[in-house]
């Protein structure tokens, strides 16, 4: 399959595989691009249907929710509808396989994601979520986790219709919202600590399918670089990430599959 790629990409994949065969710690950061081939739109894709005239960045904020909770809740229910039947793709599966292989080789591969979907878990990976979970809810005012029958149905994803009626908190009357970190909100402390520790102590940092525009996650590659790591980026499009040493400019599905095949063959 390597032969089907451009000579440059093929050489770069082999260079990356050689580096990763060394059992030194690795930190992998994934973004919306890794789920694109599963059919989940990224935030840079234009929205479709009813939501065409809105920008995702303008809806995923606490200010938008306070201004118009129904609009933001409806948008998330629509996204849940869109995501509920999506399956992991070749990139999620290759990463999960690599985590399994690395356990046997006593290599640490820490996977951090900015994604709120659960495709890494579905593929069998251990993953730390920096931006929360699409399938969980909590009160916007007091933070109490929320689960009722509708929610239980949604989280089992058997529901094919996601109601857009607002729900209120039993404790304080506040509105229930998705348990997601919106633009302008702080990251969960423990998840961020895990990410910082993994980035600061890794020998290779791999950024997959992220625009590198959303901070603080985008700063993890810089932290890794400052601590001597080699940085690999997998993204078909250029990004503003200036610390990259190896660019694998193609879709994550094909690149991850080939990369893990090469690592497997070398170890
Ligand atoms: P982003 O939307 O800003 O950027 C996506 C990146 O993926 C782009 O640089 C694009 O070139 C790249 N890409 C597209 N297709 C790809 C492919 N097949 N293989 C590899 N790369 C590909 O996403 P982001 O950087 O993760 O940041 C935006 C925020 O959006 C995050 O906080 C995240 O929580 C949220 N988000 C999550 C999901 C999800 O959970 N699946 C989906 C949309 C947005
Ligand atoms: Zn409450």
For residue 161, the model assigns a pLDDT of 59
- What band does 155 get if pLDDT is binned at 50, 70 and 90? low
CA 256 to CA 253: how far, in whole Å?
A: 6
Tell me which ligand sits closest to the C-alpha of residue 88. 1
pLDDT at 56 > cutoff 90: no
Q: Which residues lie near ion ligand 2 (Cβ < 5 Å)?
A: 139, 141-142, 169, 171-172, 174
pLDDT in tens, 87-121: 999 999 999 999 999 988 889 999 999 999 999 99
pLDDT in tens, 15-29: 999 999 988 999 999
User: Would you call 228 helix, strand, or coil by DSSP?
Assistant: coil
106 is annotated as an active-site residue = no
**Which residue's CA is the closest to the ligand 1 atom numbered 28?**
43
- Helices then strands, counting H and E runs in the chain, come out as 11, 9
Residue 9: CA atoms inside 13 Å, Cβ hemisphere, count? 20
CA 90 to CA 208: how far, in whole Å?
A: 13
Q: Ligand 1: which of 209, 234, 256, 259 to mutate, most ligand atoms within 8 Å of CB?
A: 209
Residue keyed to tokens 């251990």: 126
Asked if residue 211 has its Cβ within 6 Å of ligand 1, the reply is yes
Residue 177 CA: distances (Å) to CA of 135, 140, 141, 182, 186: 11, 6, 10, 11, 16
Asked if residue 42 has its Cβ within 6 Å of ligand 1, the reply is yes
**129 φ/ψ angles, rounded to the nearest 5 degrees:** -95, 120
For residue 23, the model assigns a pLDDT of 87
For residue 217, the model assigns a pLDDT of 94
How many CB atoms neighbour CB 175 within 10 A?
17
Residue (of 188, 241, 194) closest to 218 by Cα position: 241
For residue 45, the model assigns a pLDDT of 77
Burial of 145 (0-12, 13-18, 19+ CB in 10 A): exposed
- Mean pLDDT for the stretch of residues 138-147: 94
* Mean pLDDT of the chain, nearest integer: 92
pLDDT in tens, 237-250: 999 999 999 999 99
Q: Does 216 sit behind a cis peptide bond, omega within 30 degrees of 0 on the bond before it?
A: yes
pLDDT at 46 > cutoff 90: no
pLDDT at 40 > cutoff 70: yes
Ligand 1 centre to CA of 158 (Å) is 26
Q: Ligand 1: which of 9, 28, 31, 216 to mutate, most ligand atoms within 8 Å of CB?
A: 31
What is the pTM assigned to this prediction? 0.94
CA 43, distance to chain mean position in Å, is 12
Q: Are 248 and 224 in contact (CB under 8 A)?
A: no
Q: Greater confidence, 102 or 153?
A: 102
Asked if residue 237 has its Cβ within 6 Å of ligand 1, the reply is yes
Asked if residue 37 has its Cβ within 6 Å of ligand 1, the reply is yes
For residue 29, the model assigns a pLDDT of 98
Asked if residue 164 has its Cβ within 6 Å of ligand 1, the reply is no
How many CB atoms neighbour CB 6 within 10 A?
10
pLDDT in tens, 221-238: 999 999 999 999 999 999
- Mean pLDDT for the stretch of residues 135-155: 78
Calculate the dihedral angle through the C-alpha atoms of 173, 188, 38, 11, rounding to the nearest 10 degrees.
170
CA 33 to CA 42: how far, in whole Å?
A: 6
* Strand arrangement of the beta sheet that strand 204-208 belongs to: 128-129, 109-113, 26-30, 204-208, 230-234, 246-248
Task: Give the residues across from 234 on adjacent strands.
Answer: 208, 248
């Amino acid at each position: 399959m390597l032969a089907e790629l451009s000579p440059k990409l093929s050489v770069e994949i082999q260079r990356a595989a050689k580096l990763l065969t060394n059992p030194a710690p690795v930190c992998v950061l994934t973004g919306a691009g890794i789920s694109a081939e599963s059919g989940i739109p990224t935030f840079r894709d234009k929205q479709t249907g009813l939501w065409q005239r809105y920008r995702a960045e303008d809806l995923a904020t606490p200010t938008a929710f306070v201004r118009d909770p129904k609009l933001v809740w409806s948008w998330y229910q629509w996204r849940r509808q869109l995501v509920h039947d999506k399956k992991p793709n070749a990139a999620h599966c290759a990463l999960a396989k690599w985590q399994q292989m690395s356990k046997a080789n006593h290599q640490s591969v820490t996977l951090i994601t900015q994604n709120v979907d659960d495709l890494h878990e579905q593929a069998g990976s251990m993953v730390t979520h920096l931006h929360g979970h699409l399938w969980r809810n909590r009160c916007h005012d007091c933070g109490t986790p929320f689960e009722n029958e509708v929610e239980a149905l949604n989280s089992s994803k058997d529901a094919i219709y996601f109601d857009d009626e607002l729900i209120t908190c039993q404790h304080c009357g506040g509105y229930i919202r998705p348990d997601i970190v919106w633009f302008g909100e702080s990251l969960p402390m423990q998840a961020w600590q895990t990410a910082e520790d993994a980035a600061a102590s890794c020998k290779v940092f791999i950024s997959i399918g992220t625009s590198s525009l959303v901070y603080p996650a985008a700063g993890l590659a810089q932290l890794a670089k400052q601590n001597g790591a080699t940085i690999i980026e997998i993204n078909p499009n250029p990004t503003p990430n200036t610390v990259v040493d190896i660019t694998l400019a193609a879709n994550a599905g094909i690149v991850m599959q080939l990369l893990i095949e090469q690592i497997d063959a070398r170890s």
